[in-house]
Structure 1
C-alpha cells in the first residue's frame, strides 16, 4: 500500500494524476504495457519541461554565446572529488563508508570533499529560493544533490561521485583525457534519458555545457514548486545536449552497464574469480546500500576484500 500511496503522491505533486491514473488502469484490462506507459509518461514530462523552459533557454543562449571560452582553466585541472552525504559520512550505512574508503585509497592524490547539510554553502552558491524549497521539503535531498553537483562543478570543476561509488583501481584515462565526461545510458544516445548523473567529471570550473544545465535547473525551481519528473536533471541535461552537439560528441561513449556489474553481485555468494573478472572490465563501480538482509557469505559483506590494498 505504501508503494501505491507513494505513486499517488508523486502524481499529485507532478500534476499528472489524471493521465497517470488512466494509463495504469489500462494495464489490468490488457490494453497497456507498464514499461511503455512509463516511457510515455516520461516523454510527456520531458516535452513539458522543454516547452516551459524553451523561451528562457533561447534568450539565454543568445546572450551566453557572446561569452568567449569553453572553460576557466587558468588554475589548471581540478583534482577535487565531491561526495555528498547530508548527515556526514560517519553516519552513513556501511556500504557508503566502504565506498568512501575506496575513494581515499585510489584517489589519494585528490582532495576529497564531503558535502553535508551543514557545510554545502561553504563551497557553492545556491539561490535562496532553492534552499528555501529544500528546507521546506518541496525539493528532496536527492534533487537538491542534483543541483549541488552541477553547481559545484561549474564553480570549481573536479569529479562528482555519488556516495555509493566504489573504486577498485585508478580513474580510467578515458575520463581524465576529456574536459567533460559522463557515462551513458540507453542505446547510442537514442533514448531520452541517455546519461548517468552519479559520475560527472569536469576538468575545469566554468564548463559552458554544465553552466547551461545549472542555470536551467535554477530557472525551473525559480518558476515551479513541484517536481515534474524524477529524472528532471537528466531531462534538462538532454535539452542542453541537443543545443550543444559538438560538445556532447566530444565525450567518448562508455555505457554504464559495466559500472553496475558489481552491484548485481552484492547479494550473491562471494566469488573472487567473478569479482576479478569485473575488476578487469572497469575500476569504477556504482553500488547501492538499499539491500534486503543477506547472509555473511554475500559479496556485500566482503567489499573490503575486493581491493587488494584492504587485505
Structure 2
C-alpha cells in the first residue's frame, strides 16, 4: 500500500469513527513531521496540543468507568524486594529474524540484567506468559490491530499480571540495571531531556516513555492501562493514535490518586536517554572521554532506533562513536 493511500484510509477511518475535526488535525500532525525534518525545525507544538486536547477529552469520557473503578485503589509500599522479577524483551518474529543491532542490544540487556531471568516474547510463545481475551487476539490476527499496538498491550499485560521490567529491543543499557528499578511499585524514565525532533510526537514525552517500564504485579498503573486497552479493542477496529499508551499512562498518573502516588515514587532518572541516538546519527568521531561518560554517567538507559542510519566513518575516514560502540557490543574492542 502506498503512503498516500495509507494516509487517506486512516483519515477516512478516523473521520467516521471519531470526528472530521480530529481526523484533520491528526493528518496535519503526520504531514508536519517530514516537512519539519526537511526544514530542520521542531515539530509543531500547536498541532500536537490540539490533538492531545481531543484525545484526552475523548479518553476521559470513553474510559470513565475504568477511571471510577480504579479511583480508590491504594498504591503499594514504596519498595518491595523482587530479586526474581523478569526482564521482558520482545521480537515477535523471533530473535533469529531480528536485525544485527537488535541482536547486539538484546545480548547487552542480558549482560546488564544480573540474576534476573530474561524472557524473550515472540508470536510463538506469548500466550505461555500472558492471558489475553480471544476477541482481542482475533483483532490482531485479522489485521485490524497494528503490530506496534499488539506489542504495547503485551507489555502492559505482562507487567500487570507478572511484574518485572520491559526493555525495548532498541534500548542500549550502558550499566547494570539497578535493583531499585525492580523493587519500585512502578518505574520509567522520568523528566528526561528531549531529543531534537520527537518532543512533539507524544504527550508528556519527557515524563514517561514505554521503552523502559517496570512494575510490581497488579500495580494500579498497568492494571488500569491494560483494562483500558482491552476495552478499546472490544469497541474499535482502528487505532486513534500510535501513542495511545502514552495517553493512558497520563490518565493513570493525573486522574488516579493511586497511579499518581506510584508515579511520584519514581525519582528523576536517565536525563540523557534520548541524546545518544542523535549523537550517533551525527557521525561524531570516537572520543574516549565521551565514551566514558556514556559508560559511567548518571544515564544508563539509551534509546536507539533500528530505523536510523548510524555512520561508522567520519568525513575524514575516522571511526565514529557508533562504530566503536557497536564493535564493543560485538566484542571486537
- What is the rounded CA distance, in whole Å, between the counterparts of 1:108 and 1:186 in structure 2? 25
Residue in structure 2 matched with residue 165 of structure 1 by the alignment: 171
Counterparts of residues 221-236 of structure 1 (less than 5 Å): 221-236=233-248
- What is the rounded CA distance, in whole Å, between the counterparts of 2:12 and 2:321 in structure 1? 39
1:235 Cα deviation from its structure 2 partner: 0.7
- What is the rounded CA distance, in whole Å, between the counterparts of 1:127 and 1:209 in structure 2? 20
Correspondence 1:263 to 2:277: yes
CA deviation digits over 1:7-57, x for unaligned, max 9? 3333333336732447849x99xxxx9431232123212211221111343
CA deviation digits over 1:161-198, x for unaligned, max 9? 011111121114553452211113579xxx64541010
Unpaired runs of 5+ residues, structure 2, are 36-42, 194-202, 314-318
- What is the rounded CA distance, in whole Å, between the counterparts of 2:80 and 2:49 in structure 1? 43
- What is the rounded CA distance, in whole Å, between the counterparts of 1:308 and 1:170 in structure 2? 18
1:299 Cα deviation from its structure 2 partner: 3.8
- What is the rounded CA distance, in whole Å, between the counterparts of 1:283 and 1:88 in structure 2? 26
- What is the rounded CA distance, in whole Å, between the counterparts of 2:13 and 2:325 in structure 1? 38
Counterparts of residues 205-284 of structure 1 (less than 5 Å): 205-242=217-254, 243-244=256-257, 245-254=260-269, 257-267=271-281, 268-273=283-288, 274-281=290-297, 282-284=299-301
Q: Which of these residues, 107, 110, 126, is aligned with residue 101 of structure 1?
A: 107
1:115 Cα deviation from its structure 2 partner: 0.3
Correspondence 1:288 to 2:298: no
Q: 1:124 to 1:223 in 2, by over 3 A?
A: same
Q: 1:304 to 1:263 in 2, by over 3 A?
A: same
1:266 aligns to what SS in structure 2? helix
Residue in structure 1 matched with residue 121 of structure 2 by the alignment: 115
- What is the rounded CA distance, in whole Å, between the counterparts of 2:130 and 2:94 in structure 1? 17
Residue in structure 2 matched with residue 45 of structure 1 by the alignment: 55
1:184 aligns to what SS in structure 2? coil
Unpaired runs of 5+ residues, structure 1, are none
Contact 1:175 1:201 in 2 (8 A): yes
Count of aligned residue pairs for this structure pair: 298
* Length-normalised TM-score, structure 2: 0.77
Q: 1:9 to 1:39 in 2, by over 3 A?
A: farther
Q: 1:61 to 1:178 in 2, by over 3 A?
A: closer
CA deviation digits over 1:131-165, x for unaligned, max 9? 11111111111111110001111111111001111
In angstroms, what is the RMSD of aligned CA positions? 3.3
Contact 2:173 2:301 in 1 (8 A): yes
Q: 1:7 to 1:92 in 2, by over 3 A?
A: same
Residue in structure 2 matched with residue 18 of structure 1 by the alignment: 20
Contact 1:168 1:306 in 2 (8 A): no
* Length-normalised TM-score, structure 1: 0.82
Residue in structure 1 matched with residue 45 of structure 2 by the alignment: 35
Correspondence 1:303 to 2:325: yes
Q: 1:230 to 1:223 in 2, by over 3 A?
A: same
- What is the rounded CA distance, in whole Å, between the counterparts of 1:284 and 1:293 in structure 2? 18
Residue in structure 2 matched with residue 141 of structure 1 by the alignment: 147
1:74 Cα deviation from its structure 2 partner: 9.7
1:257 Cα deviation from its structure 2 partner: 4.7
